[in-house]
Homo-oligomer: A and B are copies of this chain.
């Protein structure tokens, strides 16, 4: 029986474009002008890792002080758009189905504890799935250690573990952990892009995954 480790932002709650907007605004405000698609392709990475990746791409170092300023602007712009966040189609149903079928799962997110708890509240579950946030992990995606720790929390064996995420970073980290990776299109990556990163299956959204759990080794 498989066990699942879920990403949160863009996988269970529709928050990717709000993050794109908030990061792009932060970079523009501090004078870093570059196209928004570049930051879209980095969503899923935690703040400091995302900032380093952009700095590398711009070939322009960003020191710790500027990095902290960028994170602060991102946080306030993201908070200002919080009321536009919605659970993704089928996210609640998928987690309730797994829970009632006794399938183990955990949630591993690059967001901080406060933001993650707000997103979980939107899912309106009557139980608390095991969760790791940025603050619980020494290393961040695409390092696989967070997903590995998330699998350990629920006693999943490596050969049973399936990571579910919306970004190339999730799928790459899953592979580095020797887990299977399932990609969802809800992060705005294309199907081919997730498949090329090594996704075992790609679904449109949690609703489609919920309807096709048999493909992932769950009997009906």
Which residues of A line the B interface, CB within 8 A? 14, 16-17, 20-21, 24-25, 28, 33-37, 40-41, 84, 86, 88-89, 185-193, 195-196, 205
Contacts and interface: CB of A to CB of B under 8 A. Distances in A.
Tell me the dominant secondary structure on chain A's binding face: helix
Tally of this chain's copies: 2
Contacts of A185: 37
B35 A88 contact: yes
A20 B39 CA distance: 15
A73 B151 CA distance: 45
A41 B147 CA distance: 29
Contacts of A191: 193
A36 B24 contact: no
A35 B35 CA distance: 22
A36 to B, nearest CB: 4
A27 B34 CA distance: 28
A35 B14 contact: yes
A192 B21 CA distance: 24
